[in-house]
């Protein structure tokens, strides 16, 4: 009986394969190619990592750029995600499928795609690729990096100008160079206003600790501590953990204190899921992934692809600060002056904490 | 073994698979996708040389994982800790191999042993807890998974073992090319089949031999069928628990190596950490038989790989996950249904035979 079952299990698997085969054979003829449009439309392929859209910040910003291109430039779009437990091999295959499918440009969202893109890009020299937040050295790849330190410098200026106590806080996500640049710019900007300002910094996780982006309770405790130490403006560059900072600041504000929170990446004042905190969100450091994505697509549409390292800085409006909350107008003069100095090269902002 | 019984054994998986396909079709209709387009595009893409190469590579990983699980299953030990055992095994292999400059054969052999020993020792903790403290291995192995991940994060982030392997990604020091087992591209010119593909075939044969042709294998299966009967016939059950968990852990230690030695060369914090759970499902599907597991692994990998094509067709890739789940559940159920039917028909035929004998005796 055991033997029979063993045999059966083998045949079981084989039979599924055959079943799939059978159904494919008969139906393959059914699909008729749609009539080709007279002008070949640009087909944009976008690959998110893991589950992709719906994070309310980074991936959704990329999507915003994509949908803007769809509306404004009339491009066709195709979005894929690598799914849970993606490997470099499966990421590579996704990019290959997109490139094979005639998608051009192919945009990889997130540094997780670095290795995969480095392998795929040279095989498709006629396709333009782009990667967000990483650098891939290939002639047909646009590496979209952001001068987060410049945008953070402006929020530092705003924070120091708004602070009455002379103490401000910074909540970082994962302790990696990418986020340290936010901290460095923030500190430098704050010190440009008030050289004696005290800055409290805390990271939610060490490099490689992927939970760092998603521990709002930890961020809340950290912010509580900063506020207890006198901080009255706190800036978080911590992905989903940033919510904890908003909660903490909101609680302190409800308790009668004058405290502000500064958001990151998206204009968090206008994010619907954060609506209950909007009163305490003074501004947000904007990292315009949407602008970068749109520019890449536009480059291909215009026949002038963006390749090489594309540093989205203040002068390209790749970073900046949001003025959605009118409360910030009181401080925006200082911030705009600082922005002009950075654009003109009078001030260069470092990416490491001094 | 009569013909009828063989027939019913075959019917189980066939019915099961057809049934799960039918349910998948209903789901596809419900989400407004064309059943024929989805199946035909999965098939035509899945049988392209590149997809087949990727499929065999992934199947190699799944095969080892399922083999590790099924060694435990054979003795009624539920090793859910393959995840922890293989990530630690892969880190051990990565650390050892990255510090070696030896000929390929020596370097790979040492890496394999490092992975197996690490996996075995990690699984051994669960065995010790079970023997000495009576802790269920289900609980201890799943807990040990989390501990393993924590240890690895610590090692890679906080100690000198970890370096920044690419922008914003940390991992172990890259293994020199002499220590890699990249395999060769014999199906698709652009995609290598992991060298570990062949090693895993050898391991599969070894598994079959050990379980079916040795005294140890007999003891192990006997203990699995009836621990008390095995004890009475002189099997030391505590020793069996240790040996089985060591073996299961040693094979589990290898699960990450096809990918590590065939592709990345570094254990980075992006290394997938849940292949062990896939192994459980495939061990169930393959009924703990190495050939069944191999086919199950290939089927699973086929569904995984072709899901990449599905999203291009505008169908959510989760459809293939649903298919995987359905196949496991429906096949397991249909095996059970058929088993009951067989038992019943056996009873009827025995009863008939008895009745006949009595008749003869009466005459």
Residue A106: the pLDDT is 96
* pTM of the entire predicted model: 0.80
Strands (E), chain A: 43-48, 76-81, 106-108, 129-132, 141-146, 167-174, 198-205, 233-237, 260-265, 281-287, 308-312, 319-321
Structural domain includes residue A67: yes
Choose the closest CB to A6 out of B17, B259, B287. B287
Q: Which residue of A has its CA nearest to B343?
A: A1
CA B8, B9, B15, B18 dihedral sign is negative
Residue B178: the pLDDT is 92
B240 CA: distance to closest CA in chain A (Å):
23
Structural domain includes residue A8: no
Of A117, A146, A175, the residue that ends a domain is: A146
Residue A351: the pLDDT is 87
Label residue A29 by pLDDT band (50, 70, 90).
Answer: very low
A114 CA: distance to closest CA in chain B (Å):
8
Residue B1: the pLDDT is 47
More reliable by pLDDT, A11 or B333: B333
Q: Which of A32-41, A49-58, A90-99 has the highest mean pLDDT?
A: A90-99
Number of separate domains in chain A: 2
Residue B10: the pLDDT is 64
Interface A-B, measured as beta-carbon pairs within 8 A, has a size of 184
Residue A208: the pLDDT is 63
Q: Tens of pLDDT along A178-232?
A: 899 999 999 999 999 999 999 999 999 877 666 788 889 999 999 999 999 999 9
CA A332, A235, A62, A324 dihedral sign is negative
Residue B7: the pLDDT is 63
Mean pLDDT of A89-104: 92
Q: Assign residue A205 the CATH number of its domain.
A: 3.40.50.2300
Q: Does residue A152 share a domain with residue A142?
A: no
Residue B88: the pLDDT is 97
Residue A214: the pLDDT is 80
Give pLDDT tens digits along chain B (363 positions).
Answer: 456 656 655 677 777 788 888 998 999 899 888 888 888 888 889 889 989 999 999 999 999 999 999 999 999 999 999 999 999 999 999 999 999 889 999 999 999 999 999 999 999 999 999 999 999 999 999 999 989 988 998 898 788 888 887 777 788 999 999 999 999 888 888 888 999 999 999 999 999 999 999 999 998 888 888 888 888 888 888 899 999 999 999 999 999 999 999 999 999 888 888 899 999 999 998 888 899 899 899 999 998 888 888 888 888 888 888 889 998 888 888 888 888 888 888 889 888 888 888 777 776
Structural domain includes residue A311: no
Q: Does residue A123 share a domain with residue A229?
A: no
Structural domain includes residue A261: yes
Task: Report strand pairing: A129-132 vs A167-174.
Answer: unpaired
Q: B10 near A7, Cβ under 8 Å?
A: yes
Q: Tens of pLDDT along A116-142?
A: 999 999 999 999 999 998 899 999 999
Residue A9: the pLDDT is 47
Q: Does residue A193 share a domain with residue A240?
A: yes
Share of chain A above pLDDT 90, in %: 65
Q: Which residue of A has its CA nearest to B172?
A: A208
Q: Which residue in this structure is represented by tokens 């945009």?
A: A107
Are A208 and B6 a contacting pair at CB < 8 A?
A: no
Q: Please list, residue by residue across A194-222, b when 16 or more beta carbons sit within 10 angstroms of its beta carbon and e when fewer do.
A: eeebebbbbbbbbbbbeebbbbbebbbeb
Q: Does residue A138 share a domain with residue A172?
A: no
CA distance B208 to B206: 5
- Whether the per-residue pLDDT at A1 is higher than 50: the answer is no
Residue B3: the pLDDT is 62
Residue A30: the pLDDT is 40
Side-chain-facing half-sphere of B159: CA atoms under 13 Å:
10
Range of A61's domain?
43-146
Task: Answer whether A77 touches B (CB < 8 Å).
Answer: no
Choose the closest CB to A19 out of B17, B37, B270. B17
CA distance A263 to A186: 12
Of A146, A173, A206, the residue that ends a domain is: A146
Structural domain includes residue A230: yes
CA A311 vs. chain centroid, Å, equals: 14
Q: What is the ipTM of this complex?
A: 0.78
Structural domain includes residue A53: yes
Residues of A in contact with B302 (CB under 8 A): 17
Q: Does residue A178 share a domain with residue A56?
A: no
């Amino acid at each position: 009986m055991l033997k029979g079952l063993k045999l059966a299990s083998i045949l079981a698997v084989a039979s599924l394969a055959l079943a799939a085969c059978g159904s494919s054979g008969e139906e393959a003829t059914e699909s008729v190619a749609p009539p080709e449009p007279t002008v070949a439309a640009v087909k944009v392929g976008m690959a998110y990592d893991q589950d992709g859209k719906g994070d309310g910040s980074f991936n959704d910003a990329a999507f915003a750029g994509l949908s803007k291109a769809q509306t404004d430039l009339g491009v066709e779009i195709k979005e894929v995600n690598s799914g849970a437990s993606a490997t470099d091999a499966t990421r590579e295959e996704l990019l290959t499928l997109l490139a094979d499918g005639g998608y051009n440009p192919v945009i990889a969202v997130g540094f997780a795609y670095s290795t995969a893109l480095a392998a795929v890009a040279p095989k498709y020299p006629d396709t333009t690729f782009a990667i967000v937040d990483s650098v891939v050295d290939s002639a047909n790849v646009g590496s979209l990096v952001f001068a987060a330190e410049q945008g953070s410098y402006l929020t530092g200026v705003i924070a120091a100008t708004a602070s009455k106590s002379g103490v401000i806080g910074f909540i970082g996500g994962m302790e990696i160079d990418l986020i340290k640049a936010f901290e460095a710019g923030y500190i430098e900007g704050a010190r440009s206003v008030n050289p004696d300002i005290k800055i409290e910094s805390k990271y939610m996780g060490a490099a490689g600790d992927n939970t760092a982006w998603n521990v709002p309770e930890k961020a809340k405790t950290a912010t509580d501590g900063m506020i207890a130490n006198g901080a009255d403006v706190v800036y978080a560059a911590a992905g989903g953990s940033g919510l904890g900072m908003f909660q903490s600041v909101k609680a302190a504000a409800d308790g009668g204190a004058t405290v502000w929170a500064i958001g990151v990446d998206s204009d968090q004042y206008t994010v619907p899921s954060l609506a209950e905190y909007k009163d305490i969100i003074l501004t947000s450091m904007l990292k315009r992934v949407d602008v970068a994505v749109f520019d890449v697509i536009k480059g291909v549409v215009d026949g002038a692809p963006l390749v090489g390292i594309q540093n989205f800085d203040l002068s390209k409006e790749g970073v900046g600060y949001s003025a959605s909350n009118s409360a910030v107008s009181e401080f925006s003069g200082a911030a705009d002056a600082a922005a002009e100095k950075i654009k003109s090269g009078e001030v260069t902002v470092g990416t490491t904490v001094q | 073994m009569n013909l009828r019984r063989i027939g019913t054994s075959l019917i189980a998986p066939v019915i099961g698979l057809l049934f799960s396909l039918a349910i998948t079709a209903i789901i596809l209709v419900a989400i407004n996708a064309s059943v024929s387009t989805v199946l035909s595009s999965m098939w035509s893409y899945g049988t392209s040389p590149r997809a087949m190469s990727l499929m065999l590579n992934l199947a190699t990983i799944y095969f080892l994982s399922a083999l590790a699980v099924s060694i435990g299953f054979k003795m009624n030990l539920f090793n859910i800790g393959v995840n922890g055992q293989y990530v630690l095994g892969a880190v051990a292999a990565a650390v050892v191999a990255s510090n070696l400059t030896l000929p390929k054969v020596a370097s790979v052999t040492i890496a394999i042993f490092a992975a197996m020993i690490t996996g075995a020792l990690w699984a051994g903790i669960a065995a010790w807890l079970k023997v000495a403290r009576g802790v269920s291995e289900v609980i201890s192995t799943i807990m040990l998974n989390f501990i393993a991940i924590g240890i690895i994060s610590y090692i890679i982030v906080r100690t000198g073992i970890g370096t920044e392997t690419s922008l914003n990604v940390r991992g172990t020091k890259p293994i020199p090319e002499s220590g890699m087992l990249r395999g060769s591209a014999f199906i698709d010119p652009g995609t290598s089949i992991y060298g570990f593909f062949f090693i895993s075939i050898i391991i599969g044969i070894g598994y079959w031999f050990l379980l079916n042709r040795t005294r140890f294998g007999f003891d192990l299966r006997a203990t699995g069928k009836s621990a008390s009967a095995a004890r009475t016939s002189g099997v030391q059950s505590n020793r069996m628990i240790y040996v089985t968990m060591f073996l299961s852990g040693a094979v589990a230690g290898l699960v990450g190596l096809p990918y590590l030695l065939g592709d990345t060369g570094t254990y980075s914090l992006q290394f997938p950490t849940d292949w062990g759970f896939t192994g459980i499902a495939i061990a169930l599907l393959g009924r703990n038989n190495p050939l069944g597991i191999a086919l199950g692994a290939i089927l699973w990998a086929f569904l995984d790989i072709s899901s990449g094509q599905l999203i291009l067709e505008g169908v959510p890739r989760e459809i293939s996950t649903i298919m995987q789940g359905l196949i496991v559940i429906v096949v397991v159920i249909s095996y059970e249904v058929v088993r009951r039917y067989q038992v019943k028909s056996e009873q009827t035929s025995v009863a008939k035979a008895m009745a006949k004998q009595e008749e003869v005796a009466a005459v």
